[in-house]
């Protein structure tokens, strides 16, 4: 662990929203390993989240409350003398956004301006990294998406991310707030308990000896970005902003730049687990989702000197191992199947 501790993060007061989410748990782990003093805001208690299961919750400061409570946010930033903020808190599931648009807008849009306004009023905050998404771009015919592409989400979740992204840019342009925006591809990894997502859902199905279910027709293409690479990207972005204040207001794409269809990802999981016999069930009933979407990460590579550390296969192997332990499957694959995929 000592090798991970860097002077920038050592004893640095850091505030993370969305700590019980997929990226939040891994980011907090990285910060804690680097010696930061972490404070996180938790709305709902999720005992199966990576933050709780890993024991990290006992090593950091936890405040209960909601993103829309601006007075609470101002108290946190002031009392803990926060210097760096990672804003990850959001309703992050596309179908839920379609079913519950108002709560999605409240969390993702209002929550963002409440946090940024609190940061604007804080004399201690020096860096803010705001989580946007590839969904903020909406649908474009020109692929891959670059950072200068217009933000034009149409469906509720996409619109909420477009708005939050633009609000962050507005605070940087109007008030000089030191905020940068991260736009990642589809994050995956151990700790994602949203079983409607293709990767955790498929792995769980395989562990249960069931055929995986694909809600769409299997054709939509996406980036699939391993969560530990996502955590490293956020840390690097905060460090870069501290080094160069002129980065404020800028957005950066993070991606493996390897677009794959939903069906291809499902088949890769089946291949890695030696369960090609479990043919996917294709429902072809998804709606309100973008057909083809993937990111150009050249700007991050050139300006931040950033590169992903995991290939899709490496990330999926780590992810499969996490769910194997989480779901209590001690010996999930017959020996002959394991040998076939090594």
Q: How far, in Å, CA of 270 to CA of 265, rounded?
A: 9
DSSP assigned state of 56 = G
Q: How far, in Å, CA of 257 to CA of 193, rounded?
A: 25
133: helix, coil or strand?
coil
Angle at which helix 111-121 crosses helix 70-79, to 10 degrees, equals 40
Nearest to 158 by CA among 287, 50, 249: 287
Residue found by looking up tokens 């939050």 in the block = 164
What's the distance, Cα to Cα, between the start and end of the chain in Å?
30
Active site residue 137: no
- List the catalytic residue out of 157, 224, 226, 294: 157
Q: How far, in Å, CA of 206 to CA of 203, rounded?
A: 5
Active site residues: 157
């Amino acid at each position: 662990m000592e090798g991970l501790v860097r002077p920038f993060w050592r004893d640095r007061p850091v505030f993370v929203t969305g700590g019980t989410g997929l990226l939040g748990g891994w980011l907090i782990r990285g910060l804690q390993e680097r010696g930061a003093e972490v404070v996180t805001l938790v709305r709902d208690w999720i005992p199966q989240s990576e933050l709780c299961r890993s024991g990290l919750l006992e090593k950091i400061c936890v405040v209960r409350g909601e993103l829309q409570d601006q007075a609470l946010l101002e108290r946190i930033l002031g009392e803990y003398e926060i210097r760096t903020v990672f804003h990850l808190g959001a309703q992050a599931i596309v179908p839920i956004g379609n079913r519950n648009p108002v709560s999605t807008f409240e969390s993702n849009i209002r929550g963002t301006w409440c946090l940024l306004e609190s940061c604007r009023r804080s004399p201690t905050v020096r860096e803010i990294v705001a989580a946007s998404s590839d969904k903020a771009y909406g649908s474009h015919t020109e692929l891959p998406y670059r950072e200068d592409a217009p933000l034009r989400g149409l469906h509720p979740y996409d619109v909420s991310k477009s708005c939050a992204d633009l609000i962050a840019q507005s605070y940087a342009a109007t008030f000089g707030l030191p905020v940068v925006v991260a736009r990642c591809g589809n994050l995956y990894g151990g700790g994602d308990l949203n079983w409607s997502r293709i990767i955790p859902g498929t792995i769980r199905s395989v562990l249960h000896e069931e055929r995986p279910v694909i809600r769409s027709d299997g054709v939509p293409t996406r980036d699939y970005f391993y969560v530990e690479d996502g955590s490293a990207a956020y840390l690097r972005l905060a460090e870069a902003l501290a080094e160069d204040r002129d980065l404020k207001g800028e957005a950066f794409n993070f991606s493996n730049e390897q677009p794959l269809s939903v069906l291809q990802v499902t088949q890769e999981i089946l291949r890695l687990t030696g369960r090609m016999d479990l043919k996917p069930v294709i429902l072809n009933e998804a709606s309100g989702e973008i057909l083809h979407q993937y990111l150009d990460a050249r700007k991050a590579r050139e300006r931040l000197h950033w590169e992903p550390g995991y290939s899709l296969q490496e990330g999926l192997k780590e992810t499969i191992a996490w769910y194997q332990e989480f779901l209590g499957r001690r010996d999930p694959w017959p020996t002959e199947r394991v040998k076939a995929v090594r």
